[in-house]
Chains A and B, each alone.
Chain A
Amino acid sequence: MEKDKKEISIIHPRPSSIVAALYTLRDLNVDVAILHGPPGCSFKHARLLEEDGIHVVTTSLDENGFVFGGHDELVALLGKVTEMFNPKLIGIVGTCVSMIIGEELHDAVLEANPDVPVIEVEVHAGYRNNTKGVLFALESALDSGIITEKEFDRQKILLEEATMVEKRHGAASKEYLAPSRGDVKYKVAQRIIELLKEGKRGITIMNAKKETGYMFADITVAVNEIAKQLGVESNIVNMANIDDTLGLPRVRHHAKCIMDDFKERGIKIHHIIGGMDEYPIAGDIAGKLIEEKYSDYDFVVITGVPHAIPMESISGMEIVSVTNGPRQVLPMKEMGHDHVIVEIDLHPKTLGVNNIVESEFGATLREVAKEE
């Protein structure tokens, strides 16, 4: 079969499908995820996920395991984690090595026979789009009756959209993208305050991917706090993808937590533009809303996945976007975003939390406002 010529060959390492499967298992609320592979595989994310409250362990296949297989190791580890953590739901994730040598995850599960459901994900990191890892995890969850067919279909559409968003203007849009720290936060904070002081009208759009919302929400909060201080609160319209009736269990929980925090801080979200896993499609909803109601607004502050908001609806405004991806700066500048800010190391800080956490840009806004 001829290779799709439209596909560019991306030469910087891409998010891993194995890791994507791990995060999906977390969203399905597994208590333990077992990596069947070498001890170094997905190390950093395994650590992060432990911060997020699930146990991530590995069969630690070594050179012997590569040659002789790791069936016994997997059976033994299934027994061990059942005893140690008393889990209600277990996930097993394949790795490059275990998949290449043809390990059968299911055989090990049958032999270990734990009395809780096990989601087996046969995945390696050799897929172009890491969303494959999510898909495989969801397929397996569907097979084990953990999610409904309806939820599966919904997720599948979202994954396809997410892949498209990344291809269009995201980190999969170019062969190589150098990381960038983006614009200086201090200057951009000054500019937003200036706009508010001039009585300009602005929109905040939080279009965040799942738990990253805990920090992006802080920017919505900060902008509103300052508008309030300046007495121009009514000039701001807030949108956020925090529908707590949509998505996998943990994702709904995040939406609810963030919503509660907004309420507590007196922030009114005028439009809920979707669930926290709907960042690939919520941008379109925001775009339509703007076209219908707010097309004459002066500026927009977009956080999370800003490149999913269609440019047609906001091109007349001054655009401030906040991302956590250093490789997202260049594509967004090219789209025409005026100011692009990076929240470095956002993700680790949003794992294992249930409340909005302070962002660097939010903190900068508050400090600059004090000085003025």
Chain B
Amino acid sequence: MNDSKKPKIIAIYGKGGIGKSSTASNVAAACADEGYKVMIIGCDPKSDSSITLLGGKRIPTILDLIRKGVDITEDDVVFEGYNGVKCVEVGGPEPGIGCAGRGIIVAIQKLKKISKVQDECDLVIYDVPGDIVCGGFVAPIRKGLVSEAYVLTSGEYMPLYAANNICRGLSKINTPLSGVICNARNVSREEEIVGKFAEEIGSDLIAFIPKEQIVQDCERDGFSVMEKAPDSEIAQVYRNLARAIMSRNKSVMANALEDERLRELTR
């Protein structure tokens, strides 16, 4: 389906808890509905990125199997979820022990070695933890796997602050930004604020996802909106976002704002 032979490989960054995994899984499902071959690679040690694509089930993670000393094959770690979406979870150590960052590096190298699924896809989404606290958490980008980065934020100050920092980080490692997505939290002038932020850093606001209870309801049941409530308005928003991402070919080196300007923006 994709015109170019190379898959579109994206990562969605943003403050922890802002809705990256929800957005990623709904975009994955929406793209699959459009007929694209899609893969989602969860890089959070909590391994919850693909859970709503698998009917609430958990899959064995790459690091679980590495730890057990299993001679891993593709079938052990790549699982098919909703509408053929390939799901992988990197996994990681228990909180407070070992090194999750190193875990991501080891796991994505392993995956690259044992599976060519990524190359056969139209869209690959790396779902990365929000706080890029060390080198491992940007490994998908650093290792040249990710070609497009998106930033997800609400119109609240702290998520914007985090988004701005992420933009600074992306520029530092020479990774262009492909767009800003607003996952609304129902704060005042939200679309305007995030739109302005996107403009000032040199990018675009490519979607505004309103806050809808239905997203939560579907997640609680272990499903994406696309699967459980395909006729809802919010499903259409995700569909539009999916199309926007698939057709997007503009990316810029983001110009992070000064703290002062960022505060002004949210006032």
Contact = CB atoms under 8 A, between A and B. Distances in A.
A68 B98 contact: yes
A100 B99 contact: yes
A42 B98 CA distance: 21
Contacts of B106: 63, 66-67
A71 interface: yes
Interface residues of A, number: 10
Contacts of A66: 98-99, 102, 106
A229 interface: no
A69 B97 contact: yes
A63 B62 CA distance: 13
A68 B67 CA distance: 8
Of A67, A68, A71, A100, most buried by chain B (CB within 10 Å of CB) is A67
A64 B99 contact: no
A101 B99 contact: yes
B101 to A, nearest CB: 9
Of A64, A65, A68, most buried by chain B (CB within 10 Å of CB) is A68
Given A63-B106, A66-B102, A71 B66 contact: no
B119 to A, nearest CB: 25
B97 A71 contact: yes
B12 to A, nearest CB: 24
Nearest to B93: A68
Main secondary structure of the interface of A (DSSP, over half): helix
B17 to A, nearest CB: 24
A124 to B, nearest CB: 14
Interface string B97-111: 111101100100000
A18 B100 CA distance: 25
Given A67-B93, A67-B103, A69-B93, A101 B98 contact: yes
B107 to A, nearest CB: 9
B155 interface: no
B239 to A, nearest CB: 38
A36 to B, nearest CB: 13
Interface in A28-46: none
Contacts of B99: 66-67, 69, 100-101
A77 B143 CA distance: 36
Contacts of A64: 66-67
Contacts of B98: 65-69, 101
Main secondary structure of the interface of B (DSSP, over half): helix
Interface residues of B, number: 12
Nearest to A64: B67
A41 B93 CA distance: 23
Nearest to B100: A67
Contacts of B66: 63-64, 67
A97 to B, nearest CB: 9
Interface string A91-102: 000000000110
Contacts of A68: 63, 67, 93, 97-98, 103
Interface string B206-238: 000000000000000000000000000000000
Of A65, A66, A71, A100, most buried by chain B (CB within 10 Å of CB) is A66
Contacts of A63: 66, 102, 106
Nearest to A71: B97
Nearest to B96: A102
A61 to B, nearest CB: 10
Contacts of A67: 63, 66-67, 92-93, 98-100, 102-103, 106
Interface in A51-110: 63-69, 71, 100-101
Nearest to B97: A69
Nearest to B67: A64
A101 B102 CA distance: 9
Contacts of B100: 67
B112 to A, nearest CB: 15
Contacts of A101: 98-99, 102
Contacts of A65: 98
Contacts of B92: 67
Nearest to B68: A64
Interface in B47-64: 63
Contacts of A69: 93, 97-99
A355 B67 CA distance: 49
Interface in A257-290: none
A68 B92 CA distance: 7
Contacts of B102: 63, 66-67, 101
Of B67, B93, B99, most buried by chain A (CB within 10 Å of CB) is B99
B81 to A, nearest CB: 25
Contacts of B103: 67-68
B35 to A, nearest CB: 37
A71 B99 CA distance: 13
A67 B64 CA distance: 11
A310 to B, nearest CB: 47
Contacts of B93: 67-69
A111 B103 CA distance: 26
Contacts of B67: 64, 67-68
Nearest to A61: B98
A67 B92 CA distance: 7
A100 B106 CA distance: 17
14 contacts: A63-B66, A63-B102, A64-B66, A64-B67, A65-B98, A66-B102, A67-B63, A67-B66, A67-B99, A67-B102, A68-B63, A68-B103, A69-B97, A101-B99
Given A64-B66, A67-B63, 12 more contacts: A63-B66, A63-B102, A66-B99, A67-B103, A67-B106, A68-B93, A69-B93, A69-B97, A69-B98, A100-B99, A101-B99, A101-B102
Interface of A: 63-69, 71, 100-101
A-B pairs, 6 with minimum CB distance: A69-B98, A67-B103, A101-B99, A69-B97, A68-B98, A68-B93
